[in-house]
């Protein structure tokens, strides 16, 4: 459960970019009230461990949000991981997200028929980030 997006603008600081993107995800999840989200950690990823050598730096934010589906009262705990690849030479940031539902409220519609499937782990996501690469810089114009 995740996606990659290119921002057609470049934030001045990592903190400013993460604040914008995390709040955007929270708004999409309707998790904007006090106490419905938290940022647990922000860390820089070593460039030596990344395939995308074009990035100036890469940062990983880990947090959590209380998310309800279909405007239900029941809220599920979802770990949110955002990776920000900074590409100032293209005036662009690339954001890759991983949403990991870790606690499904029994009253949530998500609990109905919730079959145990093979779950992605943070290590799986980090593997995606390490192998993520830019094949055609022409995509930036």
Q: Can you give the residue ranges of every domain in the chain?
A: 2-104+115-132
Written as one string, the DSSP assignment of 12-70 is SSHHHHHHHHHHHHHHHTT--STTSEEEEEEEEEPGGG-S-TT-SEEEEEEEEEEE-ST
Q: How far apart are CA 36 and CA 133, in angstroms?
A: 34
CATH class of the structural domain 2-104+115-132:
alpha beta
Note the pLDDT of residue 63. 93
**For the chain, percent helix, then strand, then coil, each to nearest 5?**
25, 35, 40
Residue with tokens 């395939």: 51
Note the pLDDT of residue 115. 60
Note the pLDDT of residue 117. 63
Taking CA atoms, 20 is separated from 2, 16, 43, 128, in Å, by 17, 6, 17, 23
Note the pLDDT of residue 97. 94
Note the pLDDT of residue 1. 45
- Per-residue tens of pLDDT for the chain, all 141 residues: 444 455 555 577 888 888 888 888 888 888 888 888 899 999 999 999 999 999 999 999 999 999 988 888 889 899 999 999 999 899 888 999 999 988 888 888 888 766 666 678 889 999 999 999 999 999 988
Q: State the Cα torsion 127-119-29-41 to the nearest 10°.
A: -50
Give pTM, 2 decimals: 0.82
Q: How far apart are CA 86 and CA 49, in angstroms?
A: 15
């Amino acid at each position: 459960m995740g996606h990659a997006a290119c921002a057609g603008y470049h934030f001045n600081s990592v903190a400013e970019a993460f604040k914008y993107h995390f709040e955007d995800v929270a708004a999409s999840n309707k998790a904007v009230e006090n106490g419905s989200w938290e940022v647990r950690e922000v860390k820089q990823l070593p460039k030596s461990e990344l395939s995308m050598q074009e990035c100036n730096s890469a940062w990983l934010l880990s947090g959590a949000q209380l998310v309800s589906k279909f405007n239900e009262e029941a809220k599920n705990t979802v770990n949110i991981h955002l990776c920000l690849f900074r590409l100032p030479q293209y005036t662009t940031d690339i954001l890759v997200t991983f949403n990991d539902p870790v606690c499904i409220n029994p009253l949530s519609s998500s609990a109905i028929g919730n079959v145990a499937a093979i779950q992605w782990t943070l290590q799986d996501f980090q593997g995606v980030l390490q192998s993520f690469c830019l094949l055609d810089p022409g995509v930036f114009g």
